[in-house]
Structure 1
Amino acid sequence: MAVVPPNSQQEMRRRNLSRVLYAVAGAGPVSRASIAGRIGLTRASVSTLVEELLRAGFLVELGPGRSGGVGRPGNALALTGLGPCGLGAEIGVDHLTVCAVDLGGRVRARIGDETPNGEAGPDSVLRRLSSLVDRVTTEAGAAGLRPAGLAVAVPGLVTRSSANVVRAPNLGWYDTDLGARLGGPGASLPLTVENEANFAALAELWLAGEGSARRDFIHVSAEVGIGAGVVIDGELLRGTRGFAGELGHVPVQPDGPRCACGGSGCLEQYAGEAALLRAAGIAVRGAGGRTAALARLRARASDGDEAALRALRRAGRALGIALAGAANLLDPRAVLLGGALTGLAPWLLPALEGELRQRTTTPGNVPEVAVSAVGSDAPSLGAAHSVVRTVLNDPLPYAVAH
């Protein structure tokens, strides 16, 4: 006779509570009957689960809504705008961002700091990040929210299932444990640290909308460096140690210029922001810094400036060479450009797509190339939503005490 695991009933209940929450999250205000139809449980079972989630403070009733079938409309259910929320942060080379996202996916607080971080050192940067987390936590608390965790996106290699940044060369960080350095409210919260490109890719997967069929794609994001988040069959590819996706350090010209990683001819040396601006003859200086310099690059390209166009063509070709290798290895449906690449896409895409067509092994199945639907906040949003999904996956530990 088969042995039944002792916690099988509790596990099934936990899973079904999670399924109800995800059904409400995916459908917006929805009735009990519609939830039952979506997740394949009886209406009686769904009603029991819904009542438990209402008592625990995860759902609210909004009044009569469509039932999805015949008969009287049932009360529409929505995720609460109070209670647990996710805190997401991004540490960029020249900015910090912290946001709070509620269970319904709404950004309820956001603070940014445009101070350069490259030469400040980890202790100084993390003190400023802790201050921002404190301010966002206070603002979220005033709106009736309490953080369930903090997730931080960083531009570097992060050991899998740890808070240790092994290497972030554009920050000058090596073997930096964020858990040991974060103070304030962040120190008392469950902490997740992940590469910024991975969180950006997860934001694309989770937030691009119900109509998006993309579950196999490479999301490329660029600031000073270039990273890629790889999603295969709806799952993030992290690699054995958590280091997958270092597209910026794929060599596209083995005898090319030296890179901060120690290699030569890396993609970053041709398509990273610093390389692009340098090749176009644009200096980063004065008010606005890098953002203003990129705006000048776009303006010059729009005006037909040959140096700007030549730099962008070179970057597009380098991206295409690196991505063709990744496409041949991974066979994604799409390549999505994020970060600074979004604003430069009109000039990058012709050369990039040309290299993909020439170099991919199946010419009739070249990956679609498109601009990210989420935008520049993708890393911090992906981080915050990762915390929200932790709550939705197992809600009862975060229930309101009665």
Structure 2
Amino acid sequence: MSTVPPHAGPTRPGAARLETGAPSSPGGAPSGARQATLRRSNLALVARTVHAHAEPPSRADVAAATSMTRATASRLVDELIAGGVVDEIARPATARRGRPATPLVPGARIAALGLQIDVAFLAARLVNLRGDVLAEQVVPGDFVASEPVATLRRLGAAGSRVLSELPAGVRVVGAGLALPGIVSRDEGLLLRAPNLGWTDIRPAPLLGARSLRGLPLTIGNEADLAAGTIAAVAPGRPGPRTDFLYVSGEIGIGGAVVRAGDVVGGRHGWAGEIGHVCVDPAGPTCRCGSTGCLEQYAGRHALLAAAGLPVTAPPERLRQRAQARDPAARQAISTASWALAVALASVINVFDIPTVVLGGHLAQLVSWLQPDLEDQLRTRVLSARWSPPRIVAAELRAAPGATGAAFAELAAVIADPAHWIGST
């Protein structure tokens, strides 16, 4: 979302005003206040421009992209470099005459801590503005119906260990926590996580006073934050997909609708709970209290149990059974495909987003799910004749919610770098 003020226009951020220092009109804002606002907006614009480039831009490239003068763009770049938001790297070798431009890249000295609680693991990951993982810990376990204090203390200990590996000269600006349930972000409150068995939990104080080392903690929904790692391949750098429905496959099923690269949160930030879309009112009882929810057919435990496998088995076992033409395995996948088609068709018909990205165990089974699922969606989706639904797999990564939580903290730095680098 742009931070350029409305009077500045979408393509020319008012750089000329920044340079002129014109006095305020009678009754208007003081000139100094206006200058500070323009500086803040222009720093954000330059930061966004550098971070969004797949190939490192030069100062001249930044000036051209932002419609600023070369002198203004260069001065703002210097501020961002001094604050660690942007770095210069070695000039490339060139056969051209003259001095080659110095490439600009996201800063390596600013990082954020991403945390995640899942029913099968805890994760802590330190990520910098370039998207590099500086340190991480993933702790496997069974956290279904777990005790919140003990679980959060274990996560806090993992976070503390990761922070102890912080490279010299790197500054950590915040911490984010991905949770498998509905949250009140502003209150820092997990309202309900059915598979954890948690209700009305405030994680920050339970992590332990020393674990975050005074860092502010922001909480969010696991699927929303994981979807952010698909919408952006690194903080501030858009990915190839900007409009899609993300389905997070774990013991439960999470989801997120992404439009123009942003997660559609809804009025309270609770949108996307596709795992609790009812596909059969007469179906089995779900932990949420309803019946026939999607995750009762396509959740990892449900799929493995239907195939006659222990719920602790890896999804690869299910795929191997299906390849061996095991009838129970194939029936379990077929049932999951049917349930996904019912739920996904409803979302696609409502939101007009025909690309579905499967994550977690569903991504591992995509070769088995995709043909039948796309076939069913062509029948169930009204617009399929003109825009056939597509099923794709997310890149398989451990704890994508933890990475997404760190990305969200770092996106705040890119959106308002003046807050982090101070006045000059």
Asked if 1:136 corresponds to 2:157, the answer is no
Match of 2:372 among 351, 367, 384: 351
Match of 1:61 among 81, 88, 99: 88
Asked if 1:14 corresponds to 2:40, the answer is yes
- Conservation of the 8 A alpha-carbon contact between 1:203 and 1:374: no
For 1:58 and 1:168, the matched residues in 2 are separated by 36
SS in 1 for 2:251: coil
- Conservation of the 8 A alpha-carbon contact between 1:320 and 1:354: no
Asked if 1:239 corresponds to 2:260, the answer is no
Aligned to 1:172: 197
Segments of 4+ in structure 1 off by > 6 A? Answer: 208-211
Query: Structure 1, residues 342-388: CA drift from partner, whole Å, max 9, x if none?
Result: 10111112232122111111122132211114634321111111111
Consecutive unaligned residues of structure 1, counting only runs of 5 or more, are 285-289
- Conservation of the 8 A alpha-carbon contact between 1:207 and 1:374: no
- Conservation of the 8 A alpha-carbon contact between 1:57 and 1:400: no
Percent of paired sites with the same residue: 40
Asked if 1:156 corresponds to 2:178, the answer is no
1:2-401, aligned counterparts within 5 Å?
Answer: 4-5=28-29, 7-27=33-53, 28-65=55-92, 72-82=99-109, 84-140=110-166, 142-183=167-208, 184-186=210-212, 188-207=214-233, 212-284=239-311, 290=312, 292-364=313-385, 365-373=387-395, 375-399=397-421
What's the CA shift for 1:210? 6.8
Query: Structure 1, residues 167-224: CA drift from partner, whole Å, max 9, x if none?
Result: 1010010011112322224262111111100001111101189785422211001111
Query: TM-score, structure 1 length as denominator?
Result: 0.91
Count the aligned residue pairs. 393
- Conservation of the 8 A alpha-carbon contact between 2:249 and 2:299: yes
- Conservation of the 8 A alpha-carbon contact between 2:360 and 2:396: no
For 1:385 and 1:29, the matched residues in 2 are separated by 20
**Could you tell which deviates more after superposition, 216-225 or 116-125?**
116-125
For 2:29 and 2:118, the matched residues in 1 are separated by 46
For 1:2 and 1:305, the matched residues in 2 are separated by 81
- Conservation of the 8 A alpha-carbon contact between 1:164 and 1:178: yes
What's the CA shift for 1:3? 6.2
Aligned to 1:287: none
- Conservation of the 8 A alpha-carbon contact between 2:175 and 2:218: yes
For 1:298 and 1:227, the matched residues in 2 are separated by 22
For 1:110 and 1:138, the matched residues in 2 are separated by 11
**Cα distance change of structure 1 residues 113 and 212 upon mapping to structure 2, 3 Å threshold:** closer
What's the CA shift for 1:143? 4.0
Amino acid at match of 2:329: A
**Could you tell which deviates more after superposition, 272-281 or 361-370?**
361-370
- Conservation of the 8 A alpha-carbon contact between 1:66 and 1:76: no
SS in 2 for 1:186: coil
**Could you tell which deviates more after superposition, 246-255 or 391-400?**
391-400
For 2:133 and 2:280, the matched residues in 1 are separated by 42
What's the CA shift for 1:16? 1.6
Amino acid at match of 2:179: V
- Conservation of the 8 A alpha-carbon contact between 2:378 and 2:384: yes
- Conservation of the 8 A alpha-carbon contact between 1:86 and 1:148: yes
**Cα distance change of structure 1 residues 316 and 376 upon mapping to structure 2, 3 Å threshold:** farther
SS in 1 for 2:347: helix
**Could you tell which deviates more after superposition, 389-398 or 198-207?**
389-398
- Conservation of the 8 A alpha-carbon contact between 2:319 and 2:365: yes
